[in-house]
A = this chain, B = another copy of it.
Amino acid sequence: ATHSLFLLPGDGIGTEIMVEVEKLIAWTNQEQLTDFSTDTGLAGGAAYDQHQVAITDEDTQKALAADAVIFGAVGGPKWDNVPYEHRPEAALLRLRKEMAVFANLRPAICYPALADASSLKRELVEGLDILIVRELTGGVYFGEPKTITDLGDGQKRAVDTQVYETYEIDRIARVAFDLARTRSGKVHSADKKNVMKSGVLWDEVVKGVAKDYSDIELHHILADNAAMQLVRNPKQFDVMVTDNLFGDILSDVAAMLTGSLGMLPSASLGAPDPLTGKRKAFYEPVHGSAPDIAGKGIANPIAMIASVAMALRYSFGMIELATRIENAISAVLSDGLRTGDIAQDNRKTVGTEEMGAAVLAKLKA
C-alpha cells in the first residue's frame, strides 16, 4: 500500500461511525482511487477496559508510524471514575503531544441545507465559513507545574501553568497566515493580552510573523470579545488563530453556530519533516462520543466521513477525491436525507448505516 491509515474508533458512537469510514475506504481502494492499508487500535475507555490505560504504547507507536490517524471519539459515564491519568481524554492528549500535531484546524461551515438548524437567525449563519486555527500542543494543557497539593486543614492548592514560547506561537501563526492566503486573506488573532503575559507574547509574535505576510489583513481581538462577536455576527470572521484553551472554547462556539455539529471534521497537523516534507496528521470529528445515543445506530457519520476527506486533502494531496466526497455529502443533504441530530420536518430521518450508504452511493454515481 502507498499510504497507511491508523483507525482509532474509540468509544460510544465513535465505533459506529468508523464503520462507515471503513466502507468508504474499502470502496476507494477497490476503485484504485486510493491505495490505503489500514490498521485499527483502541483508545479511551475501550483501551482502558482491555489494558487499563487510555492508549497503549503499542497503539501510540502505530499512530506515530502511520501516514494519518483517523480518530472517532472517546469517553462516557462508564469511565467517569477511572484514575485521572487513565481517563479516556488522556488518549487524545497523549497522541497530540507525542505526534506533536500543534496545528488544529477546525472549519465551521454552515451547510445551506442546514442553516435553519442553527440557533442563530438564518441570515447570520447562511454561507458561514470560518476556520479556527487552534494551537494544540502547548499552553495550559501541557505546562508544568500541573499539580494538586494538600495544604492540611482540609485545604488544597491546584496549579495549572500556561506556557508559550516564541517558536510555538510563530509556527501556528504561519499556519494561519498560509491558510488565510488560500481563503479571504484575513486573520483574527485572539488572546487575553490585557490580563495574561502569554497573551502579550502571543500578540507580539503574531504581529512579527504578519510582517512576512503583507498581503494578509491581521486583526487583534480579545478572546472574550471574540466569543461575543462569534455570537453577534460570525460572518465578520474568516481565519481565527488562538491558543489551546481559547481555541477549545471558541472552536466549539463556532461549531455550534453552524447548527451542524455532527457534520464538522477537524485536522491536527505536525510540522513538515525537513527531508520528506511529510507531516504527522490526526483527523477527528468535532463532536464527542455521545454516550446517550451510542449503540442505537442513529449517530451522524458525516463528520467522520468528512474527516477522511480532510485527510485526503491535507495528508495525501488528493484534492479531487476530497472534493468529490464533500460534494457527495452536500448532495445527500440536498436530497433531504437527515440523521436524528439534524432531523427536519419533511425530510427523511435515517440511521448511521443508511446515511453512510447514501454518501457512498453518490460517490459511485
Contacts and interface: CB of A to CB of B under 8 A. Distances in A.
A214 B177 CA distance: 52
B162 A159 contact: yes
Each complex incorporates copies of this chain amounting to 2
Interface in A154-178: 154-167
Contacts of A143: 159
A144 to B, nearest CB: 10
A160 B119 contact: no
Interface in A226-242: 227-228, 231-233
A81 interface: no
A350 interface: no
A249 B231 contact: no
Contact of A162 (B162, B164, B224, B231): B162
Given A165-B151, A227-B252, A256-B228, A196 B119 contact: no
A248 interface: yes
Given A228-B255, A253-B227, A87 B194 contact: yes
Interface residues of A, number: 56
A201 B159 CA distance: 10
Contact of A201 (B141, B158, B233): B158
A207 interface: no
Interface string A208-234: 000000000000000111011001110
A159 B231 contact: no
A143, A146, A166 — most chain B CB neighbours (10 Å): A166
A124 interface: yes
A268 to B, nearest CB: 16
A233 B196 CA distance: 31
B165 A157 contact: yes
A89 B261 CA distance: 36
A227 B228 CA distance: 11
Contact of A121 (B119, B151, B160, B161): B119
The 7 closest A-B pairs by CB, nearest first: A158-B201, A158-B198, A160-B162, A228-B256, A231-B256, A224-B252, A155-B166
6 contacts: A89-B195, A119-B233, A146-B197, A156-B165, A156-B166, A160-B196
